[in-house]
Amino acid sequence: AQTVTQSQPEMSVQEAETVTLSCTYDTSESDYYLFWYKQPPSRQMILVIRQEAYKQQNATENRFSVNFQKAAKSFSLKISDSQLGDAAMYFCAYRRSGGYQKVTFGTGTKLQVIP
């Protein structure tokens, strides 16, 4: 079974600084997708960034980028120029390629942004 591990239950970052959230996963598949989701306090969960395993290039979305290391099964999220609105729970998630596949989530990292 696939597992997703987020080893940092909580992290903090100064406003305008950079922070990296860690995620590792375990799979025997070669084709899959990885995601980072953000859940702000009392607000709905939204997708931050998505990576296809067959793509070597790391995905970026504005201030958010990933470091995808397929051999190491590592998928970290870097947030640059952190803003107060980045404070949230962040979940790493894995989905195997192919139809009818479920998504497996990690346990989450709570990010605090210090003004």
Partner 1 sequence: DVKVTQSSRYLVKRTGEKVFLECVQDMDHENMFWYRQDPGLGLRLIYFSYDVKMKEKGDIPEGYSVSREKKERFSLILESASTNQTSMYLCASSYLREGPEETQYFGPGTRLLVL
Of 4 and 79, which CB lies nearer to partner 1 in the complex structure?
Answer: 4
Looking at residue 104, its amino acid is T
First to last CA, the chain: 41
| From 18, 26, 46, 81, residue interacting with partner 1 (rule: CB under 8 A) | 46
Q: How far is the CB of 12 from partner 1 (least distance, A)?
A: 18
| From 43, 56, 85, 115, residue interacting with partner 1 (rule: CB under 8 A) | 43
| From 8, 20, 27, 45, residue interacting with partner 1 (rule: CB under 8 A) | 45
Strand locations in the chain, DSSP E?
3-5, 10-14, 19-21, 24-26, 32-39, 46-52, 60-61, 64-69, 74-79, 88-96, 103-105, 109-114
Beta bridge partners of 32: 96
**Given the structure tokens 């899959």, which residue do they identify?**
32
Only segment of 17-25, 68-76, 78-86, 100-108 that touches partner 1 (CB under 8 A): 100-108
Of 71 and 100, which CB lies nearer to partner 1 in the complex structure?
Answer: 100
Q: Which residues bind partner 1 (CB under 8 A)?
A: 6, 9, 33, 35, 37, 43-47, 50, 91, 97-100, 102-108
